[in-house]
Every structure is written in structure tokens, then in C-alpha cells.
Amino acid sequence: MLLNLHTISKAYGNQDEPTYQVVLKDLSLSVEEGESIAILGPSGSGKSTLLNIIGTLDYPDAGSLEFRGRDISGLRGSDLDHFRNKEIGFVFQFHHLLPQCNVLENVLIPTLLATKDRKSSEEYAGHLLEKVGLWEHRHKKPGQLSGGECQRVAVVRAMINHPSLILADEPTGALDGKNVSAIASLLHQLKSDEKLTLITVTHSSFLASAMGTIYEIEEGKLSRR
């Protein structure tokens, strides 16, 4: 088992105030190595909160989060930074590429905290950029690329440290139909080729259909479709 969430709860605000909101309620989820999962749900249903907790960007109020049998709910400081940098790759709705850096430099940014040598990282970056059709653009800045190309760079950046788990939060939300299809196909291909586990939050039924398992989140809990 790669990931196990047990009775995770999360709320925002003070319990005695009208703005208090329970987002996740006793939510449990088990994820096997190599699975691909889509999580659907309306805006405000807790999809991104759940992904942030899985990615250790946020903490649950209650419950436990285990990664390969290790409880990571309480990781802090450098231990948390090391775990996140080594094991998890993030893809967001907006690519968040650094405009002053070229494609290759953007891809290599996560390796600055890793222990791998620079040469092997650059070789792997080249391998991935070739696979996604962007090798010839490696010296271009983000402003010289299309939105779909920038998102492909973001996907490669998420994979550069050989993570076990890729978390994608609305990765096609800012793209048109053609690029939605391209990113969906790319994620599916890379997940298979690089032997990754993939969890994506999305409103796109097309992207969701490319995943092996689909869940819906409602009233703070997951149900499988």
C-alpha cells in the first residue's frame, strides 16, 4: 500500500462562529502503488483541501496519513521538506513557471534540494522533455510558449525527482479542449512509462475518464463511482 488516509477530518474557522465550515469528515482512502485516481466534486467540496493534506501542504485536524506504512501526519521542518521533495510531485492549475528561467532551468528547480548529482538530473530532464515534445524548446522562456506547452513543462518538473506520487490539482482547468486532451494523454502515458501513482482533482470528465478509478467528494466524504 502506498497511501492510507484513515478518518481524516478538516474544518476552517472557529466552531462557535457562523463562518465555521467542516470540509472533510472522517474521510478514508487507500491507494495502491501504480493506481491512477480522479477526484470529482463541485467547487468548495474539499477536493483541493484533500489533495493538500495528501501532499503534506496542509495538516488534518484529526485522523492519520500513512505513506508506505509510515505516519507522515506529524512531519515538520526539514523532515517534511525532504519527504515532500523526494516522494511527491505537484502539478497545479496554473503552471507557476519562473518567467526569468528557461524551460530546462524550470524543470531542474526541484533538484536543488535533492541529493542526486546534477548530471543525472539534467539527463533525466532531457529524457522527459523529449518524451513530451519540448526538447527543442528547452532554452525558451515561459513567455515564448503556449499555455499547453507551459503545462507540459510543469508536468515534467513534477517528475524530475522520480517521485512515487504525482498530485495534480485541476491540471487542465486553464486549458482549451485540445490541450485538455493532450495533458490527459500525457499524464496517462507518463504514469505508465515512469511507473507512477497519480491522483488528480478535476472538473473535466474527459481527464477523469483517463484515470483508473473515479471518486466523488460530497459532504466531506468520498464515494467511488
Contact 56, 75 (CB under 8 A): yes
Average pLDDT, the chain: 90
Whether pLDDT at 81 is above 80: yes
Distances (CA, A) of 195 to 58, 163, 166, 177, 191: 26, 10, 11, 27, 6
Cα Rg of the chain (Å, integer): 18
Map out the domains of the chain with their CATH numbers: 34-57+78-224 (3.40.50.300)
Over residues 114-129, mean pLDDT: 85
pTM of the model as a whole: 0.90
Phi, psi of 155 (to 5 degrees): -65, -45
* Confidence bin at 33 (pLDDT 50/70/90): very high
Specify which residues 39 forms β-bridges with: 201, 215
Going by the DSSP 8-state scheme, the letter that residue 101 receives in this structure is: S
Calculate what percentage of the chain has a pLDDT beyond 70.
Answer: 97
d(CA 10, CA 108) in angstroms, rounded, equals 34
